[in-house]
Structure 1
Amino acid sequence: MTMSDGAATAYDVVPYPNWPTAHSNPATLGALAQLLGRPAAPADKCRVLEIACNEGTNIASMAAAAPGSEFVGIDLAAGAIERGRKTLALAGLVNVSLHCCDIAEPAAIEGEFDYIVAHGIYSWTGEIVRKAILRVMGQRLTAHGIAFLSYNAFPGCRLRQTLRDYLARMVDGVDDRRERIEKARWALEYQIGGWSEDVPFQKALIETAQSTLERPPEVLFHDEMATIWEPQFLDAVVAAARPEGLAYLADALPASVRDCLFESARFDAARRFTGGDWARYEQLLDFTDMRAFRWSLLVRDGAPIDRLATPDRVRGLWASAALTRVEPRPDQKAHVFRATDKVEFETDDSDLAALFDALSSAAATPLDGIAHRADLVEAALRLYVNGVVTLSNAPPAYSLTPGERPLASPLSRAQAAQGERVLAALHHKPVRMDDPFWYRFLQELDGVNDRAALARFVSAQTGKSADEARILAPRALEEFARLRLLMA
């Protein structure tokens, strides 16, 4: 369907949740590509295209953190584009433009892009549109550009396919969208009560159904109940991209690149089946792990890809982590640190401890200073693939220390003003707050109000005494900083 027929899309009828997608952030994509030997444009000086952008929150979140970059979004849903434009205007983000158009006739797309994002569309559309997505990527990607393509993946989606087949029969003949959602949820709850956890396959179905019910109802409507639902094998995606001049780089999930960043006995043992080809190796692992979703990165074909990390590749990158130094126990080494997920790691190396101390105290730490130390780089990268450290190719836009006149992200303030409960934070992740008062307080963080004015606002809005408000307001600011909502 094209917009010329005037028909509303399913996403106009049932809006899809509009949150930032952390893995699609150019800052982290560029850092990963650089580690794999393919340096990309810095996130604060780049052009980004998002295909099927919905209301544009994903690229608006990027834009709020990178005013020196340009962002373009296209989508077929006119209602979503209109809502997105309203939010952009309210936020004052002038480096984003949203266009309602068909990917098969992308008249709004001009020039080349350093990053092209297509999230949540490839598995939910037909072959013609899938080819069009890859064609645009092949035609519009810069020489050193990175394309991000997410999709439901086989074989892990076989369980979800079972649920989809079941739901199709349970809601057959029901046209009202609300009734379809309600009946589908009831049908899943009914089966959860009937399946047995003592039967392995049924236990897996129970867990899959419970996970489905935990997602917003709109996601159930568009994912499990979509007209088109075609999970992909990784090797099929790689093969489809090749005629468009695209090569597979890696998955955007840092944990997925462990066996290519470091010498890997597991990768070497699989050469009998893969011939040392990275994409074939990841396809093999998908059967091992029963992976159900992928975030594939594509680059221009041509130059060979040397994925084995070398220390010099961290030059120009920034590292961030939520670490806390803790007192070592008698049986531990001299320096002990704890991550937010309660994982602890320890070292006797004072230089490594100094790096961890820097990560503990700053929003981000440049890695240029350790590029000559292979041991420190390896330690940082091992924390990276284990989800403790985040790497980016541009400094963060957020502050962990509230100033005298705190400034919150213009996008999050605009979202709060419109009553949205899930906000886009400056580290490109969704943040949920349910107390209406703090949404009003957030809108006061305009860079003009000082701490005294903010305390008076708290007192007037809550009835707290002036002394109580002077204590409460700074605590709120510290929480907003922790949530990455305050501008640097």
Structure 2
Amino acid sequence: MTISDKSPTSNDSYDEFPYESYPFPHTRPEYLRTIGVLFGMTPPTLKTARVLELGCSNGGNIINFAETYPKSYSLGVDLSKTEIEHGHKLIQKLGLKNIELKHMSITDLDESFGKFDYIICHGVFSWVPDAVKDKILEISNKLLNKNGISFISYNVLPGWNMVNNIRDMMLFHSSIFEDTHNKVKQAKLFLDFVNDSLQDSTAPYAKFLKEEALALAKHEDQYLRHEYLAEENTPFYFHKFMDLARAHSLNYLGDANIQTMYLGNLPAHASEKLAVINDIVRTEQYIDFIYNRRFRCTLLVGKDTVINRAITSEILDQFYTMCMLSADKLESDIDLSNALESITFSLIESTATSISTSSPIMKAIFYSYIDNIGNPLKINKLLHVASTKLPQFALQDFIQEFNNNIGKLVLSGYIKLFESKPASIFEISAKPKASNLARYQAAHASINKLWITTQINQLLAIQLPDKYVLELLDGNHNLEQITTKLTDKFVKGELVAAEGDVKITDKATLKNLASKCVESSLEKFRRNFILVA
């Protein structure tokens, strides 16, 4: 995220405090298309898609898409000249011809730029003046192709009612300082002061302030500057945002996080009461009230777009599915057929979210998902794989039980859907290969910020051995060559291996260690959408 079209001085603040341009998987056109198809649309094809990002920073959110789909076209606009220049250098080094980044105002976009299939505006809407907000919605209407999808994120109420107290405090304390860096420094010191002052208080308000102060203290200076010390930060009630969108002939498709739309995730009595409301916007607003929501990622479409949110097992059959789970026991340590033994499966990205089952069929299905993390499968393929684990059950038994559960698993956030197979491979080839972007990121990453962009636009943290392995994944090095080059890194001291306090120098031992590092890195890449054909 970076910001566009603020006051004349705020543009300078983004050059002074550049906002790290991260990839955001829920903004990626593949994901937007998935939500569109799920809700009955026929969104434009990805291979030739035209993508527009408003507030693109250095293009870190859309460059991967451009590289993956060479016949597509992506345009990013941003007011930060520094970030656009950084993006130009990266695009040039990657040799991409199908993406442009322009240093310009959102307000200067018009129909001469053509129409787009997917429009992305992440982390901009709440932070710009009203005239620019209006322009963003105008663009989402006038520049969006038929069956196209526009993504807009923004801060929302009621969640920001209390958070605004923190922002007001930080703005008040930092207002007497002129230098921007000093403002941020003083704001952080103020957070420390708040936390220390309330250390012994057990009052609910004190508890909230302490939790927020501790959470904000972990963020980088750029985040505090542009989120809490920004000149503009306007949260909206969802229904008020939709009033603005409808005034521009835009309709609500859904939320980028579809599980937040599912009434079944609410307590039963609340779900029953909200289910009788025949108005999706009002229902969503009530959910925001219940959860005290503070941020939304809304998908908008043209007002005449036909939407069908009735999700059936027949509809879900057309999607590739993945479930990123870990189990409290290894499959090899249990008897899958034992209907008396319950196994707990937890989401890897949120171990506090778990589901337990003693059903032999569901256990086989979940273990099959674990085996295929990084390899989304269509449901019929998944169930075929799972059925081989329990040959005493018929395939129809798997189909029936899974159909009884899949809707809730999808809408509760356990199962991820992919309308098209991600552009990565699950096999480790003789000469493994990663995208040019991922290899560039690895080669130029600082030791303190080792991360790369996956083929599903996720940020993947890597370790130093991963970095060196990744740099060699150009499709020209076999495993032995990669191991030899990694061994050299150990020998030269660029990678250090030790037993206790004693550094390992024996070359045979280092080669064995390098071989294990290569194996571990490739397994990590295989399961995280890094390897490509």
TM-score (norm 2): 0.82
Distance 1:349 1:475, change over 3 A: closer
Change (3 A) 1:383 1:64: farther
SS of the residue corresponding to residue 270 of structure 1 reads: helix
Q: Deviations over 1:22-46 (max 9, x none)?
A: 2212222222222222232344442
Alignment of 1:123-134 (within 5 A): 123-134=126-137
Offset from partner CA, 1:116-163 (integer Å, 9 cap, x none): 110000010110000000000001112211111101111101222101
Indicate how the Cα distance of structure 1 residues 407 and 197 shifts in structure 2: closer, same or farther if over 3 A, else same: farther
* Residue correspondence of structure 1 range 182-331 to structure 2 within 5 A: 182-195=185-198, 196-259=200-263, 266-270=270-274, 275-323=277-325, 326=331, 327=334
Give CA-to-partner distance per residue, 1:178-234, whole Å, 9 cap, x none: 211111111001101112551111211211222222222110110000011111111
- Give unmatched runs, 5+ long, in structure 1: none
The DSSP-based 3-state class of the residue aligned with 1:401 is coil
The 1:107–1:135 alpha-carbon spacing in structure 2 relative to 1, beyond 3 Å, is closer
1:25 corresponds to which residue?
28
Q: For the Cα contact (< 8 Å) 2:51–2:117, is it kept in 1? A: yes
Root-mean-square deviation (CA, aligned residues, Å) is 3.0
d(CA) in 2 for partners of 1:265 and 1:370? 35
2:170 match: 167
Shift of 1:375: 5.6
CA distance in structure 2 between the partners assigned to 1:68 and 1:347 by the alignment? 48
Q: Residues 270 and 32 from structure 1, CA distance in 2 versus in 1: closer, same or farther, beyond 3 angstroms?
A: same
Match of 1:413 among 439, 448, 461: 439
How far residue 248 of structure 1 moved from its aligned partner, in angstroms, is: 1.0
- CA shift for structure 1 position 482: 3.3
The 1-side partners of 2:212 and 2:70 are apart by 40
For the pair 1:451 / 2:479, whether they are aligned, the reply is yes
Q: Which moved more, 1:463-472 or 1:253-262?
A: 253-262
Distance 1:358 1:453 in 2: 33
Partner of 2:370: 360
Which is worse superposed, 43-52 or 449-458?
Answer: 43-52
Preserved contact between residue 41 and residue 307 of structure 2 (Cα < 8 Å): yes
Q: Supply the distance in 2 between the matched residues of 1:26 and 1:113 (Cα, whole angstroms).
A: 11
Question: Cα–Cα, structure 1 residues 268 and 475, in superposed 2: closer, same or farther, change >3 Å?
Answer: closer
The SS at the match of 2:230 is coil
Q: Relative to structure 2, which stretch is displaced further, 132-141 or 356-365?
A: 356-365
Change in 2 beyond 3 A, CA 1:315/1:39: farther
* Per-residue CA distance 1:36-66 (angstroms, 9 max, x = gap): 2223234444222111111111111333444
In structure 2, what is the equivalent of residue 473 of structure 1? Answer: 518
Q: Distance in 1 between matches of 2:57 and 2:470?
A: 25
Q: Distance in 2 between matches of 1:190 and 1:2?
A: 34
SS in 2 for 1:9: helix
DSSP 3-state at the match of 1:114: strand
Q: Which amino acid aligns with 1:379?
A: N
Asked if the contact 1:74/1:100 (under 8 Å) is kept, the reply is yes
Q: 1:365 to 1:2 in 2, by over 3 A?
A: closer
Letter in 2 for 1:47: R
Secondary structure at the aligned position of 2:262 is classed as: helix
Q: SS at 1:48's partner residue?
A: strand
Aligned length: 482
TM-score with structure 1 setting the length: 0.89
Give the Å deviation of 1:439.
2.5
Following the alignment from structure 2 to structure 1, what is the Cα–Cα distance between the partners of residues 400 and 235? 40
1:212–1:44 CA distance, 2 compared to 1 (3 A): farther
Give the match for residue 399 of structure 1: 425
Which is further off, 422-431 or 376-385? Answer: 376-385
Distance 1:413 1:285 in 2: 42
8 Å CA contact 2:53–2:77 kept in 1: the answer is yes
2:357 corresponds to which letter in structure 1?
E
One-letter code aligned to 2:434: A
Alpha-carbon deviations, 1:430-451, whole Å to 9, x = none? 122353x542332111111111
Corresponding residue of 1:484: 529
Distance (whole Å) between structure 1 residues aligned to residue 518 and residue 271 of structure 2: 53
Q: 1:67 to 1:308 in 2, by over 3 A?
A: same
Match of 1:89 among 87, 92, 95: 92
Letter in 2 for 1:256: T
Q: Supply the distance in 1 between the matched residues of 2:180 and 2:377 (Cα, whole angstroms).
A: 49
Distance 1:9 1:192, change over 3 A: same
After superposition, residues 33-52 of structure 1 pair within 5 angstroms as: 33-52=36-55
Question: Do the aligned partners of 2:313 and 2:406 also contact (CA within 8 Å) in 1?
Answer: no
Structure ID, larger Rg? 2
Matched, 1:346 2:388: no
Whether 2:418 is the aligned partner of 1:386: answer: no
Say if 2:487 and 2:514, in contact at 8 Å, map to a contact too.
yes
C-alpha distance in structure 1 between counterparts of 2:246 and 2:403, whole Å: 33
**Post-superposition shift, 1:468?**
3.4
Ranges in structure 2 where 5+ consecutive residues have no aligned partner: 384-395, 492-506
Q: Structure 1 residues 312, 142: closer, same or farther in 2, change over 3 A? A: farther
**Structure of higher RCO (CA pairs closer than 8 Å, 6+ residues apart):** 1
Residues 261 and 307, structure 1, Cα contact 8 Å, conserved in 2: no
